[in-house]
């Protein structure tokens, strides 16, 4: 595991500060309750937690799709404007996301090749913008791939480009969505459970591939998952969320080998032992309430 770039004193690519999200209702649902963290260039951070703890909500906040009730999102040190009806400036198309639900992450009426092509086009538009601004585009030195080359890189055949999303399985669609997002050469990629539609044996492989492709072009990856055992394989750091809060964060080896928070311990306890005997998933028996205070390493 590489040292977090924090140690090298680099500017964080993303900073979220005290994010609070209330969904309207009677009473309003507080999905996220004061979450702060930062992400450094070239870093892979795993965001884990059980279903409903607010991971997807955080993903939407980070990409600007959802305006938080409180708190701020800083992208490259500047506040990120939430997405409105207007076209998003190429300045911010460096933030990409792979959505959780494979059935709606691709347009059913367009061939997947042209959807991946859109990613390439976004990359070109941003490169042009950044050159104009005098900066250097992310992955500027990396050779540009075509849409079908991207599809091949994520393990599909080149002919897949001519097909519609309906003819792919959920896991394949998530890989296509990943290809599209990566083709845009993002500085920051948020993957919202991009592997949850895959079987256990391919999960690790696809997560590894996604991580490798992201790092190749210098993309920081925020990898959201409920599965700590996969996240630990690719993440430099792990952030554990529970009921809308961060309860534990630290370097992957620290969190994995020496979990401090009772909730993290329970999450780790749910992972089957490699000898096949397996421990019963006792993780969060219904009714168990854990403290929501953060413990840091």
Partner 1 sequence: MSEKAKNPGPISPVGSAVKARAEAKKAKATPDPVTGLTPVRKKSLWHRIPPSWRTPFAIVATIVAAAWIVIALIGPAIAPHNPLAQDMTPFQGPGAGHIFGTDELGRDVFSRVIAGARVSIGLAILLVCMSTTVGTILGTVAGFFGKWVDEVIMRFTDLVMAFPTVILAMVIAAALGPSLFNAVLAALVVSWPQYARTVRSMVLSLRGADFVSSGRLLGYGPIRSMRRDVLPNVVGPTLVLSSLDIGTSALLLSGLSFLGLGAKPPSPEWGSMISEAVKHFDKWWLGIFPGLALLTVVISFNFLGDALRDSFDPGTERE
Ligand X SMILES: Nc1ncnc2c1ncn2[C@@H]1O[C@H](COP(=O)(O)OP(=O)(O)OP(=O)(O)O)[C@@H](O)[C@H]1O
Half-sphere CA count of 47, side-chain side, radius 13 A: 29
The CA distance from 137 to 123, in Å, is: 9
**Of 47, 55, 116, 176, which one interacts with ligand X (CB under 6 A)?**
55
Nearer to partner 1, 31 or 95 (CB): 95
CB 248 within 8 A of CB 295: yes
Contacted entry of partner 1, Mg ion, ligand X, none for residue 187, CB cut-off 5 to 8 Å set by kind: none
Quick check: 80 binds ligand X (CB under 6 A)? no
The CA distance from 222 to 237, in Å, is: 10
List, in sequence order, every residue forming a beta bridge with 249; answer none if it has no partner. 239, 296
CB 20 within 8 A of CB 30: yes
Contacts to ligand X from residues 206-265, by CB under 6 A: 226
The CA distance from 226 to 49, in Å, is: 5
Nearer to partner 1, 106 or 267 (CB): 106
The CA distance from 144 to 137, in Å, is: 13
Quick check: 46 binds ligand X (CB under 6 A)? no
Chain residues in the site for Mg ion (CB under 5 A): 56, 100
**Of 16, 56, 106, 221, which one interacts with ligand X (CB under 6 A)?**
56
Contacted entry of partner 1, ligand X, Mg ion, none for residue 53, CB cut-off 5 to 8 Å set by kind: ligand X
- Binding marks (x or -) toward ligand X, 111..150, rule CB under 6 A? ----------------------------------------
**Of 48, 57, 198, 236, which one interacts with ligand X (CB under 6 A)?**
57
Q: Which residue has the tokens 């859109």?
A: 118
Quick check: 270 binds ligand X (CB under 6 A)? no
The CA distance from 263 to 270, in Å, is: 11
Least Cβ distance, residue 32 to ligand X (angstroms): 7
If binding means CB under 6 A, how many residues of this protein chain bind ligand X? Answer: 13
Give the contacts of 242 (CB within 8 A, at least 6 positions apart): 49, 50, 53, 261, 263, 290, 292
Least Cβ distance, residue 161 to partner 1 (angstroms): 9
**Contact stretch for ligand X (CB under 6 A) within 23-31, 115-123, 205-213, 286-294:** 23-31
Chain residues in the site for partner 1 (CB under 8 A): 63, 65, 83, 85-90, 93, 95-97, 99-101, 104-110, 118-119, 121-122, 125-126, 156-157, 159-160, 163, 167, 177, 180-181, 184
CB 175 within 8 A of CB 155: yes
CB 16 within 8 A of CB 190: no
The CA distance from 194 to 167, in Å, is: 19
Contacted entry of partner 1, ligand X, Mg ion, none for residue 159, CB cut-off 5 to 8 Å set by kind: partner 1
Contacted entry of Mg ion, partner 1, ligand X, none for residue 243, CB cut-off 5 to 8 Å set by kind: none
Give the contacts of 154 (CB within 8 A, at least 6 positions apart): 175, 176, 178, 179, 209, 213
**Contact stretch for ligand X (CB under 6 A) within 7-15, 45-53, 213-221, 257-265:** 45-53
Q: Which residues bind ligand X (CB under 6 A)?
A: 23, 29, 31, 49, 51-57, 100, 226
């Amino acid at each position: 595991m590489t040292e977090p770039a924090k140690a090298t004193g680099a500017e964080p690519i993303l900073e979220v500060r005290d994010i609070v999200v209330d969904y309207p209702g009677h009473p309003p649902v507080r999905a996220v309750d004061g979450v702060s963290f930062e992400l450094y260039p070239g870093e892979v951070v795993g965001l884990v937690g059980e279903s409903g703890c607010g991971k997807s909500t955080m993903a939407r906040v980070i990409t600007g799709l959802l305006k938080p009730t409180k708190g701020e999102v800083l992208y490259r040190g500047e506040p990120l404007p939430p997405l409105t009806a207007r076209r998003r400036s190429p300045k911010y198309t460096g933030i990409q996301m792979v959505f959780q639900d494979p059935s709606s992450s691709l347009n059913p009426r367009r061939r997947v090749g042209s959807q991946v092509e859109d990613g390439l086009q976004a990359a070109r538009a941003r490169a042009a913008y950044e050159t104009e601004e005098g900066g250097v585009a992310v992955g500027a030195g990396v050779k540009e791939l075509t849409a079908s080359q991207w599809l091949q890189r994520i393990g599909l055949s080149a002919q897949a480009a001519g097909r519609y999303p309906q003819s792919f399985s959920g896991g394949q669609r998530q890989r296509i969505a990943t290809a599209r997002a990566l083709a845009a050469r993002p500085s920051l990629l948020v993957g919202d459970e991009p592997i949850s539609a895959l079987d256990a044996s391919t999960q690790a492989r696809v997560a590894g591939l996604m991580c490798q492709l992201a790092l190749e072009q210098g993309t920081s990856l925020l990898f959201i998952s409920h599965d700590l055992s996969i996240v630990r394989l690719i993440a430099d750091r792990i952030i554990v969320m529970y009921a809308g809060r961060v309860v534990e964060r630290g370097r992957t080896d620290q969190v994995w080998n020496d979990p401090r928070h009772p909730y993290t311990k329970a999450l780790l306890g749910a992972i089957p032992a490699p000898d096949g005997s397996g421990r019963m998933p006792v993780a969060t028996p219904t009714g168990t309430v854990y403290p929501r205070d953060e413990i840091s390493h």
